[in-house]
């Protein structure tokens, strides 16, 4: 996922992992071919088995790399003590960068997580479990505080989280459907996303105040 920035060719193992990343994300684990990964890495198929015993092991390695780099940033952001309304901006901002560049990434994570739920638990370490609880607690505190000040009923932290994530992530999940239904070309989709980056925080904040 993260491309090498320096000049020297990365070693074979790294090239394989990068290639596997690209191919698995593009085609899903079942749809990926070891041959294609080998080609893209510029090595022989046998070398994949030398470094990673089997396709399943390679897929697992890729999954760990991707899934680990996916959530923590946003989780930490949401768990922090910055004001609730700022969080909205920051979450929107944080996701839209990488997801624009990697159109298949989110669908890969979702489909593999859905079809092999064990993969999710594998990256859900005790520390992360704790962090997630803390994040929810912080969110709840902020929402209750807001409700107290505005003298309204507090919104459920879990519900708010899902609405926030859903609103942010859905365009990248349903991209082909949306571009077709809305009649958008590739660059029009970009414009749509740009506009959304500005509009969505306003919309959500409006729902929050009173």
Summarize as ranges the residues that interact with a copy of itself (CB under 8 A). Answer: 26-28, 30-31, 103-104, 107, 110-111, 113-115, 117, 120-121, 124, 129, 132-133, 136, 155-156, 158-159, 162-163, 165-171, 173-178, 180-183, 192, 195-196, 199-200, 203-204, 206-207, 210
Query: Which of a copy of itself, DNA, none sits in contact with 166, Cβ below 5 to 8 A by type?
Result: a copy of itself
Q: Does 173 bind DNA (CB under 7 A)?
A: no
CA distance 152 to 173: 33
In 131-163, which positions are buried (b, 16+ CB within 10 angstroms) versus exposed (e)?
beeebbebbbebbeebeeeeeeebbebeebbee
Q: How many CA atoms lie within 13 A of 52 on its CB side?
A: 21
| Choice between 44 and 148, CB closer to a copy of itself | 148
| Choice between 12 and 71, CB closer to DNA | 12
Q: Which residues neighbour 111 within 8 Å (Cβ) at sequence distance 6 or greater?
A: 28
Q: Does 55 bind DNA (CB under 7 A)?
A: yes
**Nearest-approach distance from CB 98 to a copy of itself, in angstroms:** 16
Residues 60-79, interacting with DNA (CB under 7 A): none
In 41-68, which positions are buried (b, 16+ CB within 10 angstroms) versus exposed (e)?
bebeeebbeebbeebeebbbbbbebbbe
In this chain, which of 4, 54, 133, 152 binds DNA, going by CB under 7 A? 54
- Is residue 114 within 8 Å of residue 75, measured between CB atoms? no
Query: Which of DNA, a copy of itself, none sits in contact with 54, Cβ below 5 to 8 A by type?
Result: DNA
Q: Which residues are near DNA by CB under 7 A? A: 11-13, 32-35, 42-47, 49-50, 53-56
């Amino acid at each position: 996922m993260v491309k090498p920035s320096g000049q020297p060719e990365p070693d074979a193992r790294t090239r394989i992992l990068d290639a596997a990343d690209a191919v698995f994300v593009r085609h899903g684990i079942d749809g990926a071919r070891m041959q294609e990964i080998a080609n893209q890495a510029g090595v022989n198929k046998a070398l994949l088995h030398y470094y990673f015993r089997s396709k399943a092991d390679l897929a697992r390695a890729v999954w760990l790399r991707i899934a680990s780099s996916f959530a923590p940033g946003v989780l930490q952001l949401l768990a922090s003590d910055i004001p609730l309304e700022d969080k909205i901006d920051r979450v929107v901002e944080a996701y839209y960068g990488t997801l624009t560049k990697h159109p298949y990434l989110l669908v890969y994570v979702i489909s593999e997580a859905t079809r092999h739920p064990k993969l999710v638990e594998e990256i859900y370490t005790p520390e992360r479990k704790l962090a997630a609880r803390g994040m929810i607690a912080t969110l709840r505190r902020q929402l209750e505080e807001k409700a107290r000040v505005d003298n309204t009923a507090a919104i459920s932290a879990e519900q708010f989280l899902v609405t926030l994530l859903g609103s942010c992530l859905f365009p990248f999940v349903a991209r082909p459907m949306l571009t077709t239904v809305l009649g958008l070309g590739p660059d029009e989709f970009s414009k749509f996303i740009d506009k959304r980056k500005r509009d969505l925080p306003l919309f959500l904040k409006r729902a929050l105040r009173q």
